[in-house]
Structure 1
Amino acid sequence: MSFYNDSGWTRPAAELSPSATLTTAGHSVKQQCIVNDQMGPFIVLYILILTVGLPGNLLSVWGFIQSRRPKKQSTSVYLVNLLMADILLLLTLPFKILKDLGKAPWKLMVFHCQGSAVVMYISLYASIAFLAFIIVDRYLKDCHTAQFLQLHEASFAWLLSMVVWMLLLLIMVPNMALPTENLTESKYLRCSSLKKELSLHWHTMTVFLNMVLFLNASAVVLISSGLALKRFMRSRSDPKLRMDARRVVLSVTAMALAYMLSFVPYHVARTPYTLAQTKVIKDCLTERQLFLAKESTLFLSLLHVCLDPLLFFQLDAPFRETVRKLLPCSKNQSVHAKEQVVQEVMLQEAHAEQDAAV
């Protein structure tokens, strides 16, 4: 990126500090604050997420297709929707990587800001909602709560899933359609700089609406974890109930802890960064620090796409059985088990023949 004056003189952006000013023909021109010129480490991390997460999630898609069983359980419905969100998120990562490299064509960088970045955040918040549903659903099922039996029905789970997708689309899709500024091409495109005043206001509103969604989901997750722990404490006098309660509290608490570690840091950093995007915070150094904090915590939030296949394997029995058939050790164990059965049958027949001869 270079800066031009009336006489055609240029000066590379690398020679300027992020908040420098240029004096041109007696006029002071303030340089735009560049916050995304240190993306190297994040690009490596995003490539790792894509490299690890894509094969695992494609295997999950194959496993769910091969299981060929209708999703009659609410947990399976939420898992399928979580898988859809993860695949969409992974498909947007190449565009983010190319844009952060600063070497992508200008139109591709604009496309990421207006299109693929919006899809990425739709997928992220869909994942948050479905992970929260899974945690609550596991608690209710493990506790055998009769009054919530309707919540375990697949039809209700599909309805709730559709509501989540429609709500997120309603909130986020206008960010793709609202008018944008015509900017001069630059290496370090900041997506918020493309937005006109109306678009920036809508973007700010979507951030805070998504924050409300996250806070509600987090409250439900914490309540489920607290109830599971309370049930465990009450069951100490009954050994049988204690084992069941222990299994519940370990399952729910482990998922809740992973949920909090993945998403809470991002939302702590997201709000002040949004204030910087809307120029409430104007100090360039502060903006750069907030951007780096947002990107660092965003990496933690995106990391869940690498771990979700383990969740699918753990919670969905048909999927688990399908994947096990692919493993060489499982095949060997299956063959060995069949051989043992054949040997036992042959041995029984031999004994029967000996008894008959006697």
Structure 2
Amino acid sequence: MTNDSSLCPIHSGLEAFPYFYYLVFLAGIFGSAFATWAFRQKDTEHPCVSIYLSNLLTADFLLTLALPVKITVDLGVAPWKLQIFHCQVTACLIYINMYLSIIFLAFVSLERCLQLVQGCKVYRIQEPGFAKMISVVVWLMVLLIMVPNMVIPIQDIEEKPDVGCMEFKSEFGRNWHLLTTFICIAIFLNFSVIIVLSNILVIRQLYRSKDDDSYPRVKRTLLSTLLVTAGYIVCFVPYHLVRIPYTLSQVELISDCASRALLYRAKEATLLLAVSNLCLDPILYYHLSKAFRAKVTQTFASQAQKETPGGGSNAPHTEGTAVSAC
């Protein structure tokens, strides 16, 4: 397995991608900063969901650290050592974020499903202590899978343009990369099942509650669940459809140069969709966290009060109504 870019240059023709990554980075860092500030107010109504969302926010922070380096490398202006650093570290941070996001979105979907289907009945999985414990286990599992890709020694190669990360890897590093890929695909498939089953149960319960007086509240839960599902499908499903054939091209089981170039472009396009979850997560926080909604409502109500001439007496009433409606 050579993966020599001089024999098959596949890493060109993606000049527009860094600018899309730049837009994702700007939107994501603004949303994550606001979410960090808003999450200082704890959600006492749904503490487990709040715990999972806080972990999702932490994973997003890792992604915001990685994106500037990827943008610099993709623009072709990165020095050689930064390209090596990207292949060893920041590329791995992107995938750490991806699989942490997948897992915690699955737990959020499961928690929301249990809240709706079981009502006030509480299982062990719905206790905050369990949510904290499982969050630690998830982080350790993902890091155990991904960190070896950062620490396995790389091989020295001659400095050249259009180099791929696989060219830096030793034989052991390539084998671990291959193993990691299939483990991560298994993670994706298993937690996709959780999300799909959770949503099927939610839809079933909603159908049973369509004539209930509490249906407006149930509709809000449906909206938040559909947002999680739609964001999940758009961001992560295309990437994993491409991931297996692209990995086969990396190990040269698919050796045709034109096919490898096409798969590389497809991987980069779907990876951009996966990274865009950084923009969508603040929307999920708004719909899934009462504390986050209250903070957003309070912020914009205060701003509206300042901008309303002579309307100071109406602002408190507006804010209270908005918060109670959430």
Shorter chain as normaliser: what TM range? 0.7 to 0.9
Q: Is the 8 A contact 1:103 1:187 kept in 2?
A: no
Q: Is the 8 A contact 2:224 2:284 kept in 1?
A: no
**Which residue pairs with 2:201 in the alignment?**
227
Matches within 5 A, 1:47-58: 47-58=22-33
Per the TM alignment, residue 247 of structure 1 is displaced from its structure 2 partner at its CA by: 4.1
Per the TM alignment, residue 340 of structure 1 is displaced from its structure 2 partner at its CA by: 7.2
**Which residue pairs with 1:324 in the alignment?**
297
**Which residue pairs with 1:183 in the alignment?**
157
Quick one: which of 270, 273, 276 aligns to 1:297?
Answer: 270
**Which residue pairs with 1:42 in the alignment?**
17
Quick one: which of 74, 78, 91 aligns to 1:104?
Answer: 78
In structure 2, what is the Cα distance between the partners aligned to 1:45 and 1:145? 42
Q: Is the 8 A contact 1:85 1:126 kept in 2?
A: yes
CA deviations 1:124-181 (Å, max 9, x no partner) are 1101111111111111112235555322211111111111110011111111111212
Q: Does 1:86 align with 2:60?
A: yes
The 1:220–1:183 alpha-carbon spacing in structure 2 relative to 1, beyond 3 Å, is same
In structure 2, what is the Cα distance between the partners aligned to 1:201 and 1:340? 63
**Which residue pairs with 1:23 in the alignment?**
none
Matches within 5 A, 1:64-83: 64-65=39-40, 67=41, 73-83=47-57
Q: Does 1:336 align with 2:318?
A: no
Long gaps (5+) in structure 1: 1-28, 342-358
Q: Is the 8 A contact 2:248 2:254 kept in 1?
A: yes
**Other structure's SS at 1:185 match:** coil
In structure 1, what is the Cα distance between the partners aligned to 2:186 and 2:316? 58
Q: Does 1:270 align with 2:247?
A: no
Letter in 1 for 2:266: A
Per the TM alignment, residue 229 of structure 1 is displaced from its structure 2 partner at its CA by: 1.6
More moved, 36-45 vs 197-206: 36-45
**Other structure's SS at 2:267 match:** helix
Per the TM alignment, residue 268 of structure 1 is displaced from its structure 2 partner at its CA by: 0.3
**Other structure's SS at 1:39 match:** coil
Matches within 5 A, 1:132-151: 132-145=106-119, 148-151=122-125
The 1:329–1:79 alpha-carbon spacing in structure 2 relative to 1, beyond 3 Å, is same
In structure 1, what is the Cα distance between the partners aligned to 2:250 and 2:74? 18
The 1:312–1:250 alpha-carbon spacing in structure 2 relative to 1, beyond 3 Å, is closer
Per the TM alignment, residue 37 of structure 1 is displaced from its structure 2 partner at its CA by: 1.0
Tell me how many residue pairs correspond in the alignment. 311
TM-score (norm 1): 0.80
| Structure ID, larger Rg | 1
CA deviations 1:235-284 (Å, max 9, x no partner) are 45x43365555444343233212211211000000111011111111111
Per the TM alignment, residue 113 of structure 1 is displaced from its structure 2 partner at its CA by: 0.2
**Other structure's SS at 2:39 match:** helix
In structure 2, what is the Cα distance between the partners aligned to 1:171 and 1:339? 51
CA RMSD of aligned residues (A): 2.4
More relative contact order, 1 or 2 (CA 8 Å, 6+ apart)? 2
Identical columns (%): 37
Long gaps (5+) in structure 2: 319-326
Q: Does 1:131 align with 2:98?
A: no
The 1:326–1:338 alpha-carbon spacing in structure 2 relative to 1, beyond 3 Å, is closer
**Other structure's SS at 1:239 match:** coil
Quick one: which of 27, 38, 41 aligns to 1:63?
Answer: 38
Letter in 2 for 1:107: K
In structure 1, what is the Cα distance between the partners aligned to 2:153 and 2:5? 25
Q: Is the 8 A contact 1:82 1:126 kept in 2?
A: yes
Letter in 2 for 1:36: H
**Other structure's SS at 1:173 match:** helix
In structure 1, what is the Cα distance between the partners aligned to 2:99 and 2:186? 11
TM-score (norm 2): 0.88
In structure 2, what is the Cα distance between the partners aligned to 1:204 and 1:193? 14
The 1:326–1:148 alpha-carbon spacing in structure 2 relative to 1, beyond 3 Å, is closer
